[in-house]
């Protein structure tokens, strides 16, 4: 994914045809069910990027709202772990991190420092890397005590596991596992929206394509069954997302629920058994804290005992967040917790594009290229969207 110039819309004729189909299906459904409004949740930050970047909201009927879910791992990493990483950097540990986590604001400053970027400015050795392998090679060269911040979802975990299990890390590099599992978060978001409904029900989910290559489409069956909604595993082209919306509406019209794979060119029903085997050989499942949200059962991964020598929590005294120590950890007024649960839009937040911008993020959803607020800040608004609808003859 790139923040660069707007990418050309591939398959615009197909997208336009799918958009017309979506409008027709929605009209039929609305008339039959007496609905004026319904919501479809896209879970993955990359889907939200596609929806917003290409202005797909302008192509669907007014009563069909596309809402974003908690599909950005940086946005949901608790502030406490950022604070722990800052402390380590200020105490002389080399900290390896991805670029977005580097700017992630902590809610409680550590010795006056609020982010890893500030920790580096204050003299800490914070290094930006693209991968754990890059960190391992660098750490092997200098030999100083180091830590890698292992943020990500199921897509990141097998790669981490392969290196850790293969003994590819130098002894001086420790791993802070902050990996999160997505099905529990999707389940929780939908539960919250069902218990405290907003203006319209969520009647379908576009499930994350990348994660599904690992966990398989079958991982979403409990969601579809429990909430009795269609779940469509989709790819990331605009046509994929529009096709997923059409599939959800078709299933609602036919009274069918369950899981459908639109992204069949990449996703298998069972996912990748080899990746799953690696992941669960290296990691154990724990109840985990999600920033702004709280503890979700069985939603995180920590290293197994066989990899204890790499575990930053034990080896560097990193403090775990526990249910009793967890505190709401977004800055005052930031509505990120509601944004990631699909309960609020970025534009509902009083800080949006005032004192919270991509260049000066105040809350966590404004940092990463997968954060909903950052995506809306860069591509949201009516400009691109209206232009796209006009070009496709739909405005």
How does 313-323 read in b/e, with b if 16+ C-beta sit within 10 Å? beebebeebee
- Nearer residue to ligand SF4 within complex by CB, 48 or 262: 48
Q: Which residue is nearest to ligand SF4 (CB)?
A: 363
- Do 47 and 207 contact (CB within 8 A), yes or no? no
- Nearer residue to ligand SF4 within complex by CB, 230 or 363: 363
CB of 363 to ligand SF4, least distance (A): 2
- Nearer residue to ligand SF4 within complex by CB, 25 or 76: 76
CB of 42 to ligand SF4, least distance (A): 17
Locate tokens 């509505």: which residue?
A: 335
Contacting residues for 326 by C-beta, under 8 A, at least 6 apart: 78, 289, 294, 295
Largest separation between any pair of C-alpha atoms in the chain: 67
- Do 175 and 169 contact (CB within 8 A), yes or no? yes
- Do 213 and 267 contact (CB within 8 A), yes or no? yes
Cα gap 282→301, rounded to integer Å: 9
CB atoms within 10 A of CB 365: 35
- Which parts of 265-309 are beta strand (E)? 283-290, 294-303
Element (H, E) at 157: helix 157-165
- Nearer residue to ligand SF4 within complex by CB, 59 or 373: 373
Strand order in the sheet with 230-233: 64-71, 38-44, 202-207, 230-233, 258-261
CB of 286 to ligand SF4, least distance (A): 26
- Nearer residue to ligand SF4 within complex by CB, 60 or 377: 377
- Nearer residue to ligand SF4 within complex by CB, 132 or 339: 339
CB of 132 to ligand SF4, least distance (A): 27
- Contact residues toward ligand SF4 (CB under 6 A) are 334-336, 339, 346, 349, 351-352, 356, 362-363, 365-366, 373
Cα gap 30→37, rounded to integer Å: 8
CB of 231 to ligand SF4, least distance (A): 26
- Nearer residue to ligand SF4 within complex by CB, 216 or 361: 361
């Amino acid at each position: 994914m790139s923040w660069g110039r707007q990418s050309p819309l591939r398959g615009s004729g197909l997208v336009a045809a799918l958009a017309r189909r979506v409008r027709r299906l929605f009209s039929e459904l609305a008339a039959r069910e007496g609905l004026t409004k319904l919501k479809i949740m896209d879970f993955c930050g990359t889907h939200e990027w596609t929806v917003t970047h290409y202005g797909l909201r302008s192509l669907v009927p007014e009563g069909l709202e596309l809402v974003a879910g908690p599909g950005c791992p940086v946005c949901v990493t608790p502030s406490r772990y950022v604070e722990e990483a800052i402390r380590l950097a200020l105490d002389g540990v080399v900290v390896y991190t991805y670029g977005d986590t580097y700017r992630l604001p902590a809610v409680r400053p550590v010795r006056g420092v609020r982010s890893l970027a500030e920790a580096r400015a204050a003299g800490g050795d914070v290094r930006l890397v693209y991968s754990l392998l890059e960190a391992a090679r660098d750490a092997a060269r200098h030999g100083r005590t180091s830590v890698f911040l292992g943020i990500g979802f199921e897509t990141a975990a097998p790669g981490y596991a392969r290196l850790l299990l293969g003994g590819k890390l130098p002894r001086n590099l420790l791993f802070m596992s902050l990996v999160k599992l997505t099905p529990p978060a999707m389940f929780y978001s939908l539960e919250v929206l069902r218990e405290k409904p907003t203006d319209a029900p969520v009647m379908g989910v576009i499930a994350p394509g990348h994660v599904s290559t690992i966990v398989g489409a079958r991982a979403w069956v409990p969601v579809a069954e429990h909430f009795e909604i269609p779940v469509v595993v989709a790819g990331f082209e605009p046509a994929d997302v529009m096709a997923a919306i059409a599939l959800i509406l078709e299933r609602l019209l036919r009274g069918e629920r369950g899981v459908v794979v639109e992204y069949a060119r990449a996703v298998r029903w069972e996912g990748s058994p080899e990746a799953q085997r690696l992941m669960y050989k290296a990691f154990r499942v724990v109840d985990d804290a999600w920033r702004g949200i709280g503890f979700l059962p069985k939603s995180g991964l920590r290293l197994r005992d066989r990899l204890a020598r790499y575990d930053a929590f034990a080896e560097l005294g990193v403090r775990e967040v526990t249910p009793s120590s967890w505190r709401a950890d977004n800055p005052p007024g930031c509505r990120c917790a509601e944004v990631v649960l699909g309960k609020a839009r970025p534009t509902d937040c009083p800080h949006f594009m005032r004192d919270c911008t991509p260049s000066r993020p105040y809350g966590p959803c404004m940092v990463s290229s997968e954060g909903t607020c950052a995506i809306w800040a860069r591509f949201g608004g009516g400009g691109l969207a209206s232009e796209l609808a006009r070009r496709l003859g739909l405005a």
